[in-house]
Amino acid sequence: MAVAKQAIQSLSKLSHSKPGLDKLFQSDLLKVMKDVMATSDIIRYRIYELVVEISSVSPISLGYCANSSFISQLIGELTGDDVLIRATAIEMVTTLAHSQHGRQYLAQQGIMDKISNMIRGADTDPFSSLYLPGLVKFFGNLAIMDSPQQVCETYPAFQNKVFEMALDPDPAMIGVALDTLGLLGSTVEGKQVLQKTGEKFKAVLLRMSQLASSGATELRVRSLDAISQLLTLQPEQQTEDLLALTESWFRLLSNQPMDMIQNISSQPFPELHCGAMRIFTAIGTQPWGQKLMISTPSFMEFVLDRSAGQTKEAKDAKFELVGSLVSSSTAAEILGSQHYIRLKTYLREGPYYVSAVASVSTEGAD
DSSP structure string for 276-303 = HHHHHHHHHTSHHHHHHHHHSTTHHHHH
CB-based contacts of 180: which residues, under 8 Å, 6+ apart? 136, 137, 140, 162
CA distance 140 to 162: 9
Q: What is the mean pLDDT of residues 226-241?
A: 95
pLDDT of the residue at 83: 87
CB-based contacts of 214: which residues, under 8 Å, 6+ apart? 220
Confidence class of residue 261 from pLDDT cuts 50, 70 and 90? very high
Give the length of the chain: 366
211 exposure class (CB count in 10 Å sphere: 0-12, 13-18, 19+)? buried
Q: Measured between alpha carbons, how far is residue 46 from residues 11, 28, 179, 343 in Å?
A: 12, 19, 27, 53
Mean pLDDT of the chain: 92
CB-based contacts of 324: which residues, under 8 Å, 6+ apart? 281, 282, 284, 285
CA distance 246 to 40: 51
Helices (H) and strands (E) in the chain, counts: 24, 0
CB 130 within 8 A of CB 87: yes
Task: Out of 185-194, 247-256, 259-268, pick the least confident.
Answer: 259-268
Specify the DSSP class assigned to residue 235: G
Confidence class of residue 358 from pLDDT cuts 50, 70 and 90? low
Radius of gyration of the chain (CA): 26
Confidence class of residue 360 from pLDDT cuts 50, 70 and 90? low
CB 119 within 8 A of CB 157: yes
User: What b/e string do you get for 232-247 counting C-beta neighbours within 10 Å, with b at 16 or more?
Assistant: bbeeeebeeebbebbb
pLDDT, greater one: 359 or 198? 198
Confidence class of residue 365 from pLDDT cuts 50, 70 and 90? low
Confidence class of residue 224 from pLDDT cuts 50, 70 and 90? very high
CA distance 204 to 36: 47
pLDDT of the residue at 361: 59
Confidence class of residue 311 from pLDDT cuts 50, 70 and 90? confident
pLDDT of the residue at 82: 86
75-104 pLDDT, tens digit each: 999 888 888 889 999 999 999 999 999 999
Helix, strand, coil distribution of the chain in percent, nearest 5: 75, 0, 25
Q: What is the mean pLDDT of residues 277-283?
A: 96
17-35 pLDDT, tens digit each: 999 999 889 888 889 989 9
pLDDT of the residue at 319: 93
Confidence class of residue 359 from pLDDT cuts 50, 70 and 90? low
Q: Say what the pTM is.
A: 0.88
